[in-house]
Amino acid sequence: MTRHSLQSKSIFALFMLIAIVASSPLLAVDKIRVMALFHDKAMVQIDGKQRLLKAGEKSPEGVLLVSANANEAILEINGERGSYGLGSQVGGHFAVREMVEVRIQGDERGSYNTTGSINGRMTDMLVDTGATIVAMSQVEAKRLGIAYRIEGEKSFVRTASGTARAYSVVLDRVQVGGLSLNQVDAVVIEGNSPHKVLLGMSFLGRVNMEQRGTLMVLQQKF
């Protein structure tokens, strides 16, 4: 076989390889949801499969985590980058839903417990439509880094045990799923009660709220 024939076959094989690669279907992803956020890490559910990605790491489905913190994940999908908060869900050509919606499943006692964040720090919450304001114990406030003694205003609140000393504060940011509100009024109660942050009407009154069977549905107001 001549050298010219070998070169011709090599060129033909190269063209065939390029054609095969070009015609191969790109990795397709139907739905993505941000399940948890950490520093430089994010737990992302991709088509029902959970992937813990580090910053700069790409999932087997081709989703790249550019960066992450407690508030958001920067994801690159098909060469396009976007910012996604906790609970954010995208799908159908990766168009973010126009109406941000959070669904909270009720427990056997009819309580609605969820996980959210205050000023960028994760915390357990209880949806409490009977509370006029977001409320937390001083123990939780200290854990969340809220300087309630310095920035707060002394007050009193009524609890199941009677009257308790408290501090009125304004939270920079309260987030539940994809719902995020700034400048939310709250109260810090001296002692270790309540055991969970009470998500009161100073937050709930600023979103659309609807009960659907055993689900509590919160939606962004426009």
Q: Are 198 and 118 in contact (CB under 8 A)?
A: no
What does the pLDDT average to over 54-82? 85
Range in 30-39, 104-113, 144-153 with the lowest mean pLDDT:
30-39
Measure the CA–CA gap between 220 and 203, rounded to whole angstroms. Answer: 11
The predicted pLDDT at position 161 comes to: 73
**What is the tens place of the pLDDT at every residue in 157-210?**
887 777 889 999 999 999 998 899 999 999 999 999 999 999 999 999 999 999
The predicted pLDDT at position 105 comes to: 92
The predicted pLDDT at position 2 comes to: 54
Measure the CA–CA gap between 68 and 75, rounded to whole angstroms. Answer: 9
- With bands split at pLDDT 50, 70 and 90, how would you rate the model's confidence at 76? confident
- DSSP letters along 175-211, please? EETTEEEEEEEEEEESSS-SSSEEE-HHHHTTSEEEE
More confident residue, 79 or 178: 178
The domains of the chain, with CATH numbers, are 1-97 (no CATH), 101-219 (2.40.70.10)
Query: Is the dihedral angle over the CA atoms 162, 143, 220, 87 positive or is it negative?
Result: negative
Beta bridge partner(s), residue 112: 106
The predicted pLDDT at position 50 comes to: 87
Measure the CA–CA gap between 129 and 222, rounded to whole angstroms. Answer: 21
The predicted pLDDT at position 222 comes to: 59
**What is the tens place of the pLDDT at every residue in 86-112?**
876 666 444 444 568 899 999 999 999
Number of DSSP helices (H) and strands (E) in the chain, helices first: 4, 18
Measure the CA–CA gap between 134 and 186, rounded to whole angstroms. Answer: 5
